[in-house]
Structure 1
Amino acid sequence: MQRVCFQLQVRPDRLEEYKRRHAAVWPDMVQALHETGWHNYSLFLRPDGLLIGYLETPSLDRARAGMAARDVNERWQAEMAGFFEDLGAAAPDEGFLELEEIFHLEDQLEALNNTEAK
């Protein structure tokens, strides 16, 4: 399972509306995310608008492609695009900055246990 962490910047003047929109995401959008492999998906928002997202998926490329094929995603991305800074022409789900994972406790524990077992 691929773990993905990403960041975006929400416009400071749109923070409250952004939070309201995510308190009631469209049911068909929620279902589409689930069906296309966006698991354990969370968004975290700092008061200055820094948005951090996290998800687990068998393949980010397949999860993105699956959502790109859904009409609901096209509508959602169009509505959300105005909330973000520095996207250029990209949709939010394509324009985020993916962060490099440098530590995962379970991976470290597994490596340690494998070393000890030898």
Structure 2
Amino acid sequence: MDQDLVKAFRMQLKPGFEAEYKKRHDEIWPELSQLLIEAGIKEYYIFLDEETLALFAFQKLGSNEQTAGLAGLPIMKKWWDHMADIMEVNADNSPVAVSCPEVFRL
């Protein structure tokens, strides 16, 4: 039996933007949601540590996932630009994302 591929990573929210971050994701653009699904993301969760403002993201990926190409797409770059004012980002406005290796699975 194949296990789903998983990817987890940590990002950082800027202080005072907790509600705005949630609002923007509650209103995520339909074309971006569709693009993520088409890239093979079956499930995508983001959790907030309210004490440190660390964002923990978890993605369940299909075996045919093609997420590596998302960074080069205009809609992804537009989303990064939209989010750059409220979270820590790289020079290209992509979120600073630190990979979290899997250490346990039940």
Normalised by the length of structure 2, the TM-score is 0.82
Q: Which residue of 2 aligns with 1:74?
A: 77
Could you tell me which runs of 5 or more consecutive residues in structure 1 were left unpaired when the two chains were aligned.
106-118
More helix by share: 1
Higher-Rg member (1/2): 1
Q: Which residue of 1 aligns with 2:37?
A: 34
Per-residue Cα deviation, 1:2-53 (whole angstroms, up to 9, x for no partner):
2111111101121111111011101001001100112211111122311010
The answer to whether structure 1 residue 53 and structure 2 residue 57 are counterparts is yes
Q: Which residue of 2 aligns with 1:116?
A: none
The answer to whether structure 1 residue 63 and structure 2 residue 64 are counterparts is no
The answer to whether structure 1 residue 103 and structure 2 residue 104 are counterparts is yes
Return closer, same or farther for 1:52/1:32 CA change in 2, 3 Å cut-off.
same
Q: Give the Cα separation in 2 of the matches to 1:12 and 1:59.
A: 37
The amino acid that maps onto 1:84 is: M
Give the number of equivalent residue pairs.
100
Return closer, same or farther for 1:103/1:59 CA change in 2, 3 Å cut-off.
farther
Q: Which residue of 2 aligns with 1:9?
A: 12
Normalised by the length of structure 1, the TM-score is 0.75
Runs of 4+, deviation exceeding 3 Å? none
Could you tell me which runs of 5 or more consecutive residues in structure 2 were left unpaired when the two chains were aligned.
none
Q: CA RMSD in A?
A: 1.8
